[in-house]
Structure 1
Amino acid sequence: MNTAATERPVPSATELHAAATVVDGSTVIELSDAHLDRIRRGGVTAVNHTVTRPYADTVTALREVNHCRRWIDEHADDVLLALTVADIERAKTEGKEAVILGPQDTEMIGVDLDLLGTFHDLGVRILQLTYQRQNLLGAGCGEETDSGLTHKGRTFVRAMNELGILVDVSHCGERTGLDAMDTSDKPVVVTHSFCDALSPHIRAKSDTFLRRLGAQGGVLGITTLSGFLYYPDAPTRRPDLTRFVEHVNRVVEVIGVDHVAIATDYDETWTEAMRAAQLKDKEQQNLLGDFGWNERRAIGMDDASQFPNFTEALLAGGFSPDDVVKILGGNWLRVYGEAWKPTAR
C-alpha cells in the first residue's frame, strides 16, 4: 500500500491561518472602521473585548456596554455579538468578527446577583473577578496580602457558573485565583498573562498555578506586551514572537498544549499621550516596564493585522499544524463551550 498517497498534505502557514478560527483572548477594541480593517487583514474571527473600563460604576458600565452593542448593531454586515460558540463559528463562515463582551472587573456589579444576571442578559460572557486591587470578591495581584476568595466571591463564582459566564482570574492574586478554581464547577481561565518562571512579575502565573489551571481544564492566553515578555537579564531588550513562543512552550511543558492560547492584551484606544502619562506613574511604570510608545508591543505584532505572524512563529517553533490550530483559537472555543450555555433562538 502506498501510504504516502493517504497522508494529509502539510498546509502552508498562510493556508493554516486562513482555515483556523483565530481568537484574541483579550483586547480593547476601537469601535471604528480602522479596527475592522486590521481584523480582516489579520484573519481574526473573534475577540474578547474589555467592554467596560476597570473600576467603572454601574451606570458607566451599562452605558459602555450599550455603546458597544449599538456599534455592533450598526455594523451587522461585519460584526456580530458572540453569545455562544455557534456564533463564533457562524462569524467564521460568514467572514465576520465575533465580539465577546468580557469586562475585567466586577466592581460595577458588587455582589448584586440580579445585576450579574442583567449583565449576562446584555451579552457578557467572560468576567474577571478582580482588577489589581481588593474588592468584595477577592484580592487583585497588586495587593501585598491575598486572603483569597471571600464568601461573597464564592457565591458569585457559583452564580457565574449557573448563568454561563466564564470566570477569568488574570489580574487576581494567586490565592484568589486558586480559590476560584476550587469553587468553580466549570473551567476557569486566565485570559491574558504569561509565565512567572520566564518573566517574573505580579501579573505572571507560577508553575504551581498553571498545574492547577491545567487540572481544572482551563486555558492561559499569552500576551505580547513587551513589558510582560521581558528578559530578566536584559529588561530593556524588546521581545519578539520567538519570546512569545518561549512562553507558550513553558505552558505546554507544564500542563500541555490544550491549555495555552493567544491574548494580545492590546488597547486600541490607547494614545501616545496616555502612555507618556502612565510612565510618570511609578506603579504603572513598574507594571509595564520602561518601553516607549513604539516598543510597547512585541516585534512582529504591532497590531491585529499582523496575527498571521503568530502562525508562522508557532510553526517555526516546532508546533504541529494541529497544535497551532488549538493555540490560535481551538483551545478558547473548547473552554467557551464548556462554560457558556446555549442561548435559545
Structure 2
Amino acid sequence: MIDHRDERIATLMAREAAEAPGRCEAQVTRNAGLMRQAGQRLRALAPPFAATLARGSSDQAASFAKFLLETRAGIPTLSHAPSIGSLYHATSPRFRGVPLIAISQSGRSPDLIAAAQDAQRQGALVVAVVNDEASPLAAMADICIPIHAGPETSVAATKSFIATLVAITHLVAEWSGDEALGEALPVVGDTLRAAAAADWGEAVPLLRDARTMLVLGRGPTLPIAGEAALKFKETSNLHAEAFSIAEVAHGPMTLVGAGDPVLALGPTDPARAGLRERLEDFRARGAQVIAAGHPDDVVAATLALPSRWEVHPVLGAIAQIQSFYGLANALALARGRNPDTPPHLAKVTRTL
C-alpha cells in the first residue's frame, strides 16, 4: 500500500508517462524515411482490407488504427483474433496480399507471434509495431515499425501506448497521403507536453470511492476511452467500462444513477455531434459527469477537464490519454494502490 499523502509520489508510471512527449517527438523524426517507404509499399499493395492483431492496451491502439485507416485511407479494417491463428490455425487464405498490423510493446507474446506466423503463411504482409526491435515479432515482420519508447518497467503501459498511437498516426498519414495529418505530426511533442502539464487532479475526489463507472468516447476518442477504462481496472481496482457516446443510450445508460461518475472523453471532429445533449442527460440523472473536449460540449459537465481541443482532432485524442495517465496515477495513490505493480498482472502476458 502507498500513502497517497506523499504528494506526487514519483511512481514509475508517472515518470514513464512524462517521457512520452520527448520520445514521440524523436520518433517522428527517426521514423520519417521508414514511414515514407512503408506508406509507398502499402499504397502500391492496394489491399481490399487490412487487419489488426493485438491484446490489452495494444488492442485499444489497434482500434485507433482501424478508425484512422477507415476514415483517412478508406480501407475497411478488421480485428483478427489471435486464437484464430494460434489455437485453431484457421487463418483465411483471403489474407493473401492483406496487411496484418501486429501491435505489441514487447513483441514476445506467444499467441501474437503464432497468429502472425499463421497469417504470413497465408500470404499476409505482417506489419509489426513494436517497442523491442530485437523481439521475435519484429524479426519475422515484413515491415517493422519501432516506436522508440525506450524501456518501460511499470506494468501499466503509458509511454509505449502513446508512442504506438503516434507511430500508427504517422503510418496512416503516409499511407493515405493525408496532408493535414502529416503536417500535424511535427508539433506532437509540444501538444503532448501541454497535455502532460494539464492537471486532471480535480477528478480524484469524484472517483476516489467509486466502485463502478462508465468511460465514454466516439470516433478518435473511443479507443482512448477503452484504454482509460482498462487503466482504471488495472491501477485502481475500479470497474470501468467504455462505451461509444452514440451507443451508451442503447442500454448501458440505465446503469447510471445519482452520484455515479461518468468520464466523457469528447472528440473534436464530427463525432462530437450530440455530445453536449448526452452529457446533459447524465446530469439530469444526477450523475457526476467529468468531461474533456470542446468547450461548447464540456460546459454541460459537472467537472470540465483542461484539454487540447484546438489541435488536430487525432492529436487531440492522443493528448487526452497523456493527460489521463496523470489522473490514473493520482487516483491509484488516493485509493492506496501502487500503479506500478497491479496484483495478478505481468508486463508480458504469455497467452497461448
TM over 0.5, shorter chain: no
Higher percent of residues as helix: 2
Using the size of structure 2 for normalisation, the TM-score is 0.28
